[in-house]
Chain A
């Protein structure tokens, strides 16, 4: 019905996820009906610019949003209703079944605890066992993420490690309890180019070896190309395009994805302007009626401003919420699905 052919139930299923931040002045709709799913062992990249709702979506999946956030919709991980979890079950879920790697390890790690203390606390909290057992497991984990002289680094404080090693330690902590779902929020954005590629290759290898489903938030199309199986492009709180990474980057179906590709500096001729998307993303306090991208879209018509477009499936495994898909992606329309 929706173009997907998989028979098994997905690991993660997100339906109409909506997150609103309500204050006296305004209501900000950060996530506005995001829908996507993830199979076991699959890497999905949530791709979008600042304010697109990708990080808020990720935090909603781990139930990390503050109390004033109004979350609606459905999030199911292996059949269990994530949004209904409370108390003990929620604490076991966080870190045990789902773990997160944050963008800035320096602020995500506690500066007064050593890397070893972080790991031991996490392991004993979820798996029990003695301190010595947990410490042995911690050394294994640091070896797993290729931190040299692991036993010695266990006693290092976060500030004593370089940026690349800190992020590896963060990954070790996230993997320590064998999560079924790994969430990564721009884990390589703060790293230098030569270190970023090392961490990306490490994450790719670990994901393949350990087989956990992974959601990877990034604004960088290049990062998505390196690590993703599928991408979901977000704009103003909605998933506006989804599909296999190679297909989406080669032939985007949504005008926003096409614009993002064209405006990313990559081998453009130095004597020509870059095809930038005009304007800026909409104010989330006052979203336009109809398609949120219509005000910046060269293809927008009156119909685009009437209602937000329903999903269309231009090819197997691909989805776009755009009325003009036929004009963005003429070659794919009409092919047998």
Chain B
């Protein structure tokens, strides 16, 4: 009848909230870890008030240096580490609350691929059994689960007859990571968290796996949270980018904008630390000096102020806020220089 009815976009039957409902909303997520031997009551503020939105079908890149809390954040999203406080909303349903989505259902719809491809596989299990394990736990018969495993192996570019019966030690790093991706996909997730999933691979293999991830996202209608310390990879694969420093979000926005017009001095320093690949344009002076401070006793106010070239008294006194982060097009930074009336002498200029 009407033209609009003929073009039916693919709708996942599990999609409850509709295309406009974000896949995941995180509000003020917080997790501290107690540390022994670092003084009474010492805690690592691993994730300290992190908020962001992950829209359906997008790839959100999470970047930051070691210890910034990006891996803890990934584990909080799956409740592999339980948050101290904060709210998680998956496709419109609150996670882990009455009337919301329970943790088991969440983990069926959100899967994770880890960095170390070897230690994330059972060394005493042929990889086809590792992949079939998820579907079997979720009620499929053994033969059915094996069939799914073989289908997925084809999708990740491994011949099931050749690679299915092998043990992890018989595979190369790239092949093992393909198996880990296959295992994550075997339960039919809607969202995949990739925690430094390509970081341990050689460059030529990394490129293959990145191409595979992009292709799988298209064909299986997936949403990615892509965690990496490699800015070049994040720029390539992400629609939007979230930058973390010492447990907090310092900048969030569309990838093209963040990379072209970074607003937070830390993001600019990270971008300035990227190696040029051109021996004629070497970096003459490092954008930052020193290492990130300890997350056990972070600086007051803005956590970046101890390394920031623009730090002023207001940065020590008050913690800057991120602003309006909820929208897809929001480009926000937690920096007093971006807030017009913050009291910073450069306020409004960044």
Contacts and interface: CB of A to CB of B under 8 A. Distances in A.
Interface of A: 49-50, 162-165, 192-198, 200-201, 219-223, 225-226, 228, 245-246, 249-250, 259-260, 262-268, 270, 273-278, 280-281
B236 A270 contact: yes
Contact of B211 (A220, A262, A276, A280): A276
Given A193-B229, A195-B291, A201-B283, A274 B210 contact: yes
Contacts of B172: 280
B237 interface: yes
Contacts of B288: 194, 198
B87 interface: no
27 contacts: A164-B290, A192-B291, A192-B292, A193-B65, A193-B231, A194-B288, A196-B273, A197-B286, A222-B275, A222-B276, A225-B276, A226-B275, A245-B279, A246-B280, A250-B278, A259-B204, A263-B204, A263-B208, A264-B203, A265-B232, A268-B236, A270-B236, A270-B237, A273-B211, A276-B208, A280-B172, A280-B174
B202 A270 contact: no
B105 to A, nearest CB: 32
Given A194-B288, A226-B282, A278-B208, 6 more contacts: A194-B273, A201-B285, A262-B207, A263-B204, A270-B237, A280-B175
Given A193-B231, A194-B270, A264-B203, A274 B236 contact: yes
Interface in B261-289: 269-270, 273-280, 282-289
Interface of B: 65-66, 172-175, 202-208, 210-211, 214, 229-233, 235-237, 255, 269-270, 273-280, 282-292
Given A49-B202, A162-B291, A274-B207, A192 B66 contact: yes
A276 B275 contact: no
Contacts of A277: 204, 207-208
A287 to B, nearest CB: 16
Contacts of B207: 262-265, 274-277
Given A165-B291, A193-B270, A274-B211, A265 B236 contact: yes
Given A193-B229, A280-B174, A249 B279 contact: yes
Contacts of A225: 275-279, 282
Given A265-B230, A276-B211, A219 B203 contact: yes
Contacts of A220: 203, 275
Nearest to A231: B279
A163 B278 CA distance: 27
A198 B286 contact: yes
A223 B174 contact: no
B203 A164 contact: no
A6 B66 CA distance: 45
Residue among B173, B204, B278 with most chain A CB within 10 A: B204
Residue among A50, A193, A273, A281 with most chain B CB within 10 A: A193
Contact of B275 (A223, A262, A267, A275): A223
A84 B53 CA distance: 64
B278 A194 contact: no
A258 B66 CA distance: 31
Contact of A197 (B208, B214, B287): B287
Across the A-B interface, the 9 shortest Cβ-Cβ residue pairs: A222-B275, A276-B207, A263-B207, A192-B65, A49-B202, A162-B291, A246-B279, A274-B207, A277-B204
Residue among A192, A220, A245 with most chain B CB within 10 A: A192
Contacts of A276: 204-205, 207-208, 211
B291 A164 contact: yes
Given A193-B65, A193-B229, A263-B206, A273 B275 contact: no
A221 B270 contact: no
Residue among B279, B282, B284 with most chain A CB within 10 A: B279
A257 B73 CA distance: 37
A238 B232 CA distance: 29
A27 B132 CA distance: 36
Given A192-B66, A274-B207, A222 B277 contact: yes
A274 B173 CA distance: 19
B150 to A, nearest CB: 22
Contacts of B284: 201
A252 to B, nearest CB: 12
Contacts of B214: 273
A193 B206 contact: no
B273 A270 contact: no
Nearest to A276: B207
A311 B5 CA distance: 65
Contacts of B277: 221-222, 225, 249, 264, 266
A13 to B, nearest CB: 24
Nearest to B281: A225
Given A249-B279, A263-B207, A274-B210, A192 B229 contact: yes
Nearest to A275: B207
